Amino acid sequence: MENTALTDRFGRRHDYLRISLTERCNLRCVYCMPAEGIVLRPRDQFMRTEEVLAIARTFTDMGVKKIRLTGGEPLVRKDAAHIIRDLGRLPVELAITTNGVLVDEFVGVFQEAGLRAVNVSLDSLRADRMRSISRRDPFARTTANIRLLQEEGFHVKVNMVVMRGINDDEVTDFMEWSRHEPVHVRFIEYMPFNGNRWEWGKGVSEAEILARATERFGASGYERLTDRPNDTARNYRLTGGAGTFAIISSVTNPFCGTCNRIRLTADGKLKNCLFGRTETDLLAELRSGRDIRPLISASVLKKQAVRGGMDSFEKLSDPALHGANRSMVAIGG
């Protein structure tokens, strides 16, 4: 019998859970974390190891087939290796999104857990720009760890947040990289969150990214690929490319109609949409000894059709609306 517990009122089935392991990060990227950082809260407000695993098991029992670990930076959590190994025993596809700085310390853990898909954030191919964007100096270690993951046979995606006047002139350089190496680059439109001082003037649209591809490579220099069901990205390949590139256009061309994702924050709150302002406290319910499944089903059922109810560019651009959401580092990338 088909499990419909995670189906919303628009018929979207949610079988992909993103779990944030921590709000802490060893970088301070401008689009993710406010310049002043975020308030560090007491540890007891966050999920303990056994609570992460208990909630994850509940979701798999309800039909989740894929779990992606996020942060903050998930690998800075002291028990990250333990959690990864234990989640690897669940009947799910396990993946992770990381800034790549600590990856070399975890390759063996990934392999042991059967984790084969790693998304690495890299917003420039220039060390000086990475210092400016991240407010740290991760470039050498991150790029070395991308190569390490490739050598070890992992499926590697590189996430680049495209920001006008900051790194947008490198878009086609990232595409060219995907021609020569089996790397899958994903260009992410600059999105609004609390504290990142968002304005669309800093953004670069899907249409403009493709126009730049055409200008450099020609209209026949790249091809549109068939997207997988529920893909958030629209996928392309340069002619003869060893890898691919893709565009995640949450701002100008959202993919909400096929969304199958839900998010669990590090403090145990369920967000049924990245842009949604409402949250459901699963951790408090779990600690009280009550069944969290009714709360999960109710939250999914209330999911809005588009971007947490911000169904127009004007609403998305309104600081009173997007500013009521958390900063990205506190949601989980």
Residues in the chain with pLDDT values less than 70: 1-2, 193-198, 315, 318-330, 332-333
Distance between CA 212 and CA 315 in Å, rounded?
28
Residue 1 lies in a domain: no
Residues 60-111: tens digit of each pLDDT:
999 999 999 999 999 999 999 999 999 999 999 999 999 999 999 999 999 9
Residue 5 lies in a domain: no
Pair 25, 99: CB distance under 8 Å:
yes
Residue 174 lies in a domain: yes
Residue 32's closest CA among 291, 213, 274? 274
Residue 4 lies in a domain: no
Which tokens belong to 254? 């959202």
Residue 2 lies in a domain: no
Residue 151 lies in a domain: yes
Residue 8 lies in a domain: no
Give, in order, the Cα–Cα distances in Å from 316 to each of 114, 124, 145, 200: 38, 26, 35, 10
Residue 113 lies in a domain: yes
Per the document, the length of the chain is 333
Q: What is the dihedral of CA 70, 72, 76, 81, to 10 degrees?
A: -20
Domain count, the chain: 1
* Phi and psi, residue 16, nearest 5°: -130, 115
Which tokens belong to 287? 């600690």
What does the DSSP 8-state code read for residue 149? H
Helix or strand (DSSP H, E) at 96: strand 93-98
* DSSP codes joined into one string, 271-320: ESSTT----EEHHHHHHTT---HHHHHHHHHT--SSGGG--SHHHHH-HH
* Phi and psi, residue 115, nearest 5°: -85, 115
Q: Which CATH number fits the domain that encloses residue 191? A: 3.20.20.70
Which tokens belong to 34? 């406010």
Q: Which domain holds residue 131?
A: 16-331
Cβ atoms < 10 Å from Cβ of 137? 14
Using a 10 angstrom Cβ sphere, with 0-12 exposed, 13-18 middle and 19 or more buried, the burial of residue 292 is: buried
Strand partners of residue 69 = 19, 96
Interior/surface letters 225-235, b for 16+ CB within 10 angstroms, e for the rest? eeeeebebbbb
Cβ atoms < 10 Å from Cβ of 289? 6
Which tokens belong to 274? 């990245």
